[in-house]
Amino acid sequence: MGNPIFSPDGKFMWTGTEWIPSPPENLGNEIRMQDSVIGGDVITNTTINNDPSAVTSAVISALEHLGVINVPNHQNTPPASLKLPDQFTLGEHVEYYSPSNERWLNLCKIIDINNDGTYKIEVPKSGLTEIKNGVTIGTRLGCIRPASNPYKAGDKVFVNWKNFGHFYAGIIARENEDATFLIQFDDGDIEDSVEWSRIMPLDENSDDVKDYIAHDSKAEDELIEAFKVFDPSNSGTIAAQEYLRILTEMGDNPLSIDEVKHEFSELGISLDSQIDYKELAKYLVASEGTDIQNNSKPEVVIRDAKIVEGVLNGYAYNHPKLGETWLNTTEIESITYDERATARVVTLNTVYVIGPTGWIEKPSEHPFNLPDYKPGQNVKVEWNGTWWDALVRETKPDTTRWKIYLIHYVGFDSSWDEWVESSRIQNP
């Protein structure tokens, strides 16, 4: 083959039938990726022969460098529904969700149970042992859960796809001998050797979960359909050259050709290589930062707590900025209690977690200060300013009031039955 013919400005090359954009210099038909940041790995002097998945990873890295997409983070998680124990015992092994590593660490152990119901644990790290105090049971950063594999083949799950930080729905197709899993995603993708620390249970009946899946599915389908316009053979890939044209000619804020070509050249993306656009679409959706849990505020455990003039006072464990210390918070925005009477006190920048016995002085609305009524008990219930004879039929936990009651008004048919909070109930 003779030497290629370039245009006078060097930006285009003659193929024999048409002018095309010139490829990056000295790359040929191979891809050289240096210092790739995908997945946190560094790949040096690695030659990849037009592998669409590898090219896609390099393109994603280029898009991050260009500021076109944001790196997904571990806040893009769906609601968790893992059944947790009420308590752990001294010496029991647990897993700890490390805030610094953003992953579950196993081989941790309960070494003490604090008076407020929180735990002191040992966390092995790089041959050393760290001590974590004031730890609670849960699935968020800084919490602990049972140290056993809760998943099996056939389970519907959410999986942190390729550990990029965004979760997609799928099914466990196989459990491997090394305790990892083969995942078949709902969109048809397959990923093997997935550690169970990247897996969350999927509650198919949850409206939040349905919304989360529907958002991802719709956004991903729209992008794939847009890419298919450039894939008349339905191969599942588009040329890097075509994607360069998309970036530089389409949309409200197209990029400059030189800028994109420079990034492609730096990461070894040849313009005659192919991009797996389904994988690219999935990553673009993940980079949007969909977060239906809104976990942007860190959670900090507090003991010896009390509320004074709308501000929380107490001793904080592992505050992200202050460490362990006595503190006064900013003004309280809201307080909720779970079924264990654990409080979550929301302030401007932080959520403070207080165990059932972590108060010096309990708020008036604390569950332990409220009367508790049992099914079958005769009570008086306030309705429209008047107290009526009623019967308690059922009780159930409530996220904002700890417990609510289904009552039946004596002498009225069941169509008048309603769920009420304890403030509307009193003994006869």
**Weakest mean pLDDT among 200-204, 230-234, 235-239:** 200-204
Only one residue has tokens 């003991």, namely 303
**Region 161-172 average pLDDT:** 81
Only one residue has tokens 């339905």, namely 234
Residues 6+ apart with CB under 8 A from 143: 96, 97, 135, 136, 137
- For residues 88 and 94, the answer to whether their CB atoms sit within 8 Å is yes
Cα distance between residue 296 and residue 185, in whole Å: 27
| Domains held by the chain: number | 3
**Region 213-223 average pLDDT:** 77
pLDDT at 399: 54
The continuous run of DSSP H or E covering 260 comes out as helix 257-266
- 23 bridge partner residues: none
Of 369, 395, 412, the last residue of a domain is 369
pLDDT at 304: 92
Angle between the N-to-C axes of helices 52-66 and 257-266, in degrees from 0 to 180, rounded to the nearest 10: 130
User: Looking at the structure, do residues 303 and 362 belong to the same domain, yes or no?
Assistant: yes
Of 129, 146, 163, the last residue of a domain is 146
User: Looking at the structure, do residues 310 and 358 belong to the same domain, yes or no?
Assistant: yes
Name the token pair of 152: 């099996």
Asked if pLDDT for residue 253 goes beyond 80, the answer is no
User: Looking at the structure, do residues 351 and 385 belong to the same domain, yes or no?
Assistant: no
Residues 6+ apart with CB under 8 A from 363: 307, 335, 343, 369
On whether residue 328 sits in a domain, the answer given is yes
Cβ-based neighbour number of residue 12 at 10 Å: 15
On whether residue 158 sits in a domain, the answer given is no
pLDDT at 77: 52
Asked if pLDDT for residue 40 goes beyond 60, the answer is no
Asked if pLDDT for residue 346 goes beyond 50, the answer is yes
Asked if pLDDT for residue 343 goes beyond 80, the answer is yes
The DSSP code sequence of 13-24 is EE-SS-EEEPPP
Q: Is the dihedral of CA 314, 318, 324, 325 positive or negative?
A: negative
- 345 bridge partner residues: 335, 352
- For residues 87 and 100, the answer to whether their CB atoms sit within 8 Å is no
Confidence class for position 72, pLDDT limits 50, 70, 90: low
On whether residue 383 sits in a domain, the answer given is yes
On whether residue 37 sits in a domain, the answer given is no
On whether residue 246 sits in a domain, the answer given is no
Cα distance between residue 211 and residue 219, in whole Å: 12
Which amino acid would we find at residue 231? D
- For residues 357 and 343, the answer to whether their CB atoms sit within 8 Å is no
- The CATH number that applies at residue 406 is 2.30.30.140
Confidence class for position 28, pLDDT limits 50, 70, 90: very low
Cβ-based neighbour number of residue 215 at 10 Å: 14
pLDDT at 190: 86
Asked if pLDDT for residue 119 goes beyond 90, the answer is yes
Nearest CA-CA partner of 337 in 296, 294, 397, 419: 397
Asked if pLDDT for residue 43 goes beyond 60, the answer is no
Which residue did the predictor score with more confidence, 325 or 81?
325
User: Looking at the structure, do residues 355 and 414 belong to the same domain, yes or no?
Assistant: no
101-116 pLDDT, tens digit each:
777 887 789 999 988 8
On whether residue 234 sits in a domain, the answer given is no
Of 146, 165, 183, the last residue of a domain is 146
Which residue did the predictor score with more confidence, 77 or 191?
191
Only one residue has tokens 């010096």, namely 360
User: Alpha-carbon dihedral of residues 76, 77, 79, 85, nearest 10 degrees?
Assistant: -140
367-402 pLDDT, tens digit each:
777 777 889 999 999 988 899 999 999 888 765 556
The residue segments making up the domain with residue 419 are 378-426
Confidence class for position 48, pLDDT limits 50, 70, 90: very low
User: Looking at the structure, do residues 407 and 357 belong to the same domain, yes or no?
Assistant: no
Question: CA dist 273 to 2, 33, 56, 216, 237, Å?
Answer: 21, 13, 10, 28, 10
On whether residue 141 sits in a domain, the answer given is yes
Average pLDDT over the chain, rounded to an integer: 77
pLDDT at 295: 43
On whether residue 105 sits in a domain, the answer given is yes
78-101 pLDDT, tens digit each:
555 556 788 899 988 888 888 877
